Amino acid sequence: MKETDFIEKNKQKWQEFEKLSQNKTKDPDKLSELFVEITEDLSYAKTFYPKRSVRVYLNYLAQKVFLSFSKTKSTFLTTFLMFWKQNLPLEMYRSRKAFLTAFLFFFVAVLVGAVSSYIDPDFSRIILGDAYVDMTIDNINNGDPMAVYKQMNEGDMFLQITINNIRVAFLVFIMGIFFSVGSTFLLVSNGFMLGAFQYFFYIKGLLLTSFLVIWIHGTLEISAIVIAGAAGIVMGNGLLFPKTLTRTQSLQIHAKRGINILLGTVPLFIVAGFLEGYVTRHTEMPDVVKWLIILSSLAFILGYFVFYPFYVGRKFASQERVEEKPIHIETRKLEKYSIRNMSQVFYDTFRFYKLYLSKISSVIFVVIAPLSLLYLGWFFYSSPYSDYYLETGELFELVFGGSIHFSWISFVATVLFFSLNVATVIHCLSLIGKDTSASYIALWMKEIWPFLLKSIPLVTLVLLIFYFVPGSFVWVLIFGSPFVVLLFYPSIAGDMSFVTGVSLGFKYGSKDWGQTVVSFLLITGLAYIFSWTYYNPFVPGMDIKTLVIDEIIDWHTLTVFEDFLSIKNFISAFLVLVLVHVLLPLIIAAISFQYMSIHDKQNALGLKSRLKNFGKGNKHFESNK
């Protein structure tokens, strides 16, 4: 058929489709029917008129409608308001039993902490630490028992307290992955500390004084921690009680619910951090003002997180979202370019990690690990730190060249090892959808070089930023992370120049900024928490390193080697290095999937890929295979 005849035959249908797609009151059935026909026409045009304008026009129509389907129909403001007005309260209503459980465990722990301090006056030292207790006693003797809140300037204290509180809440939540026991344990630990803390001031005759100061910020802060604990219990219950679902399906559902609850605590921690940084320090305020702040905070917590959820829950009691319904979660095909929300970025990141871990691990243990042994052999042979035991944190700083004892050789080695890891992950991403049954190491040796050469300058840039930017700018690094992390995939994997890739990374860094920040922080936080299986900095001794590895190393080095400390440090450093390289692919994959999601929103590459296969299935149910 001639192009003019093809256009004349179908132009009325195309005009109707374009008009209908622009109409705010769309007829979905008619639009769907026309969309199928338009994509058929596009497939025909790509075959017979690939270089003509009709193909461009039809591609524009299909892409426009596809993107309109992919984007939410509501504005960001509407979605934001709906989350706080309905979605979060409704989730709190569904999770009311978990919330009550978290509160009861915490409240009982507070009572136990107070009673234990009454029975044993030294209990507060065991829980709070000698240094803190002695400092508080000195402050009391100096006539200012709450001086601890005046040691830093307002701005630094606000940022430090807010970031730390959010970290604690995330920790309490994520520990729920251990069948809810982890979240409960941390709630109980914090309850013990609060009970011992308040009883300590009681025996000093300062209970009311301390209460009116601490609870200015503590009302919101403590409530948020309990809510985060409830979110962790919700997630853990998904593993404990999957009902008719598989445990994986149940965990996915309950983790998403828990994350929604956790997000609701972020404003509480920001306000609590502001109060602690700027208000709590003014202990000379009239008591009536303190009571007003405390009671207002309590009224908000009870009103929004307790009573309002019951109103919303009963109002929407007929909706399926109120009660859990068994559903089937179909396994999605892992695609490079697809528009993803945050949960889908998480899901695809871990699916990719599971599918390609054997390939990535083969590089880690065949290439990176032997090179690391050579580097560590040189390091501990020439290092002055080999004659005494190094803690895990010290090992990390020294081995990666990031401490005050900066070494260019260590830095170059770190850049090389990280670049190999980054290049390998992005190379595996390029293999999605391809047959890779052959030996991966052989394929890696053949194809890795372009990825590696592009990785080295970016890894160098990121490491220099983290090594030499002052710690007080950490919040700038966190909130500016999208503009850095989104450089990786386009600059290394894209068929473009380095400068173009960097420009594209910065451009996309401004798009979906919030999702990129949250995804990056959550994946990084998860990787950090996974590392606790090896070394747990918060519960010393409850990790593989202390319980197993240190015992084995001590047994085989103490009685065999004269310089056993050097050998022990060498082995421990190697294990730390390998652990970092096993967890790093999670972060790189999450960054890459986030980039590909933004890229697909702008260019509809996923649509173009599906259109290539169009016509292979039923007219109304096209196959993506």
- E strands of 500-549, at which residues? none
pLDDT at 617 over 70: no
- How far is 56 from 494, CA to CA, in rounded Å? 24
Q: What is the pLDDT of residue 229?
A: 93
Q: What is the pLDDT of residue 422?
A: 93
Q: What is the pLDDT of residue 445?
A: 92
Contacts of 369 (CB under 8 A, 6+ apart): 574, 578
- How far is 620 from 75, CA to CA, in rounded Å? 30
Instruction: Name the percent of the chain lying above pLDDT 90.
Output: 20
- How far is 484 from 281, CA to CA, in rounded Å? 37
Q: What is the pLDDT of residue 604?
A: 60
Residue type, 114: A
CA-nearest of 339, 295, 279, 301 to 609 is 339
- E strands of 457-519, at which residues? none
366-370, 443-447, 460-464, 619-623: the lowest-pLDDT one: 619-623
- E strands of 452-518, at which residues? none
pLDDT at 296 over 90: yes
Q: Average model confidence (pLDDT) for the chain? A: 79
Per-residue pLDDT tens for 75-120? Answer: 556 777 888 988 899 899 989 999 999 999 999 999 999 999 889 8
- Burial (CB count <10 Å: 0-12, 13-18, 19+), residue 134: exposed
Please state the pTM of the whole predicted model: 0.55
Q: What is the pLDDT of residue 301?
A: 95
30-34, 68-72, 211-215, 420-424: the lowest-pLDDT one: 68-72
- How far is 529 from 22, CA to CA, in rounded Å? 48
Instruction: Read off the pLDDT of each residue in 254-274 and give the average, rounded to a whole number.
Output: 90
Contact 244, 296 (CB under 8 A): no
Residue type, 203: I
- How far is 581 from 569, CA to CA, in rounded Å? 18
Q: Within 13 Å of residue 233, how many CA atoms lie on the same side as its CB?
A: 24
- How far is 441 from 364, CA to CA, in rounded Å? 11
- How far is 451 from 490, CA to CA, in rounded Å? 11
Q: What is the pLDDT of residue 327?
A: 45
Contact 166, 479 (CB under 8 A): no
DSSP SS3 for 334: coil
Q: What is the pLDDT of residue 424?
A: 95
Instruction: Read off the pLDDT of each residue in 50-71 and give the average, rounded to a whole number.
Output: 65
Domains of the chain, residue spans: 3-74, 91-132+154-315, 353-604
Q: What is the pLDDT of residue 585?
A: 93
Contact 282, 217 (CB under 8 A): no
Per-residue pLDDT tens for 485-518? Answer: 667 777 788 767 777 777 777 777 777 777 777 7
Per-residue pLDDT tens for 558-612? Answer: 555 556 677 777 888 888 889 899 999 998 898 888 888 887 777 665 555 555 5
Instruction: Name the percent of the chain lying above pLDDT 70.
Output: 77
- How far is 228 from 472, CA to CA, in rounded Å? 27
With tokens 């695609």, the residue in question is 335
pLDDT at 335 over 60: yes
284-293, 428-437, 476-485, 498-507: the lowest-pLDDT one: 476-485
CB atoms within 10 A of CB 270: 17
- How far is 586 from 428, CA to CA, in rounded Å? 13
Per-residue pLDDT tens for 197-209? Answer: 999 989 988 888 8
49-63, 125-139, 298-312, 369-383: the lowest-pLDDT one: 49-63
- How far is 372 from 570, CA to CA, in rounded Å? 11
Instruction: Read off the pLDDT of each residue in 147-172 and give the average, rounded to a whole number.
Output: 81
Contact 233, 183 (CB under 8 A): yes
Instruction: Read off the pLDDT of each residue in 15-41 and give the average, rounded to a whole number.
Output: 68
Write down the H helix ranges in 387-439: 392-399, 408-430
Contacts of 250 (CB under 8 A, 6+ apart): 238, 239, 241, 242, 243
